[in-house]
Amino acid sequence: MNAQHRLCEMPRPCTITTGIVRAGLAGIGLALVLGFALPIPVPASAETVRAGYADSAIGTLVIVRIDGVQERLQGTGQIPLYEGDVLRTDAGSQAVVKFKEGVKVALNEDTSLKILSRWVKDQPLTRIIRMSRGEVWVTTLGEGPFQFEVETPVATAAIEGTEFDLKVQEDGQSILTVVSGIVKFGTAFGTCPIKPGTISYGVRGKKCTKPVPTDVMKSLEWTKAVK
């Protein structure tokens, strides 16, 4: 049953330039650490860039557009997502979103993230979700390469055909648990390749910790209702 409820709809302005500027400033430092080329903004088209869609929600997923307009998803539906959108779940709510890059992301309760991107001249766009709080489960769909990163206040996780859980605590400390594939987990002080079945911590002012074995299924218990 489609229980999608939209509060309102308005003409949507182009958000490409905003995304380039914000993602570029925030991502340059970590891009250097992760060994990426520096982003070089290219002229944006006049068309709105669609990033993917909100697929389902247990409770309510709030989508805040760049112009301040809010939409809400309850149950199943396909609400388009655009660069610059902020997604929020409150206590008791979870949601699933899917991106054009072939990446599926589940949001745990009390999670907030923003959709951004980074352009590098002559290379594909890199999709970025910037988390300010909460927890996400990320998995790739199909074959890569996947130009996709998850940023937190202290670290970045770059995807290479993988499945992982990433949690951001109140102090910004980020906890990465990798289920499959390799994740390049970096802070401003260094990068750690994290292998399946291990956990690593990204702490402000330090390099990510050495990965150690962990019970990945325990970390994924919260995803049972939304997978």
Tell me the DSSP string of 123-152. Answer: SPPEEEEEEEEEEEEEEE-SS----EEEE-
How far is 32 from 219, CA to CA, in rounded Å? 30
φ and ψ at residue 153, rounded to 5 degrees: -60, -20
**For the ranges 32-36, 57-61, 154-158, 178-182, which has the lowest average pLDDT?**
32-36
Is the pLDDT confidence value at 150 over 50? yes
**pLDDT tens, position by position, 6-29:** 433 333 433 333 344 444 444 444
**Confidence band (pLDDT; 50, 70, 90) for 151?**
very high
- What pTM, to 2 d.p., does this model score? 0.78
Name residue, tokens 């074959």: 143
Picking from 218, 201, 223, 211, the residue whose alpha carbon sits closest to that of residue 108 is 223
> Tens digit of pLDDT for each residue in 178-201?
999 999 999 989 888 999 999 999
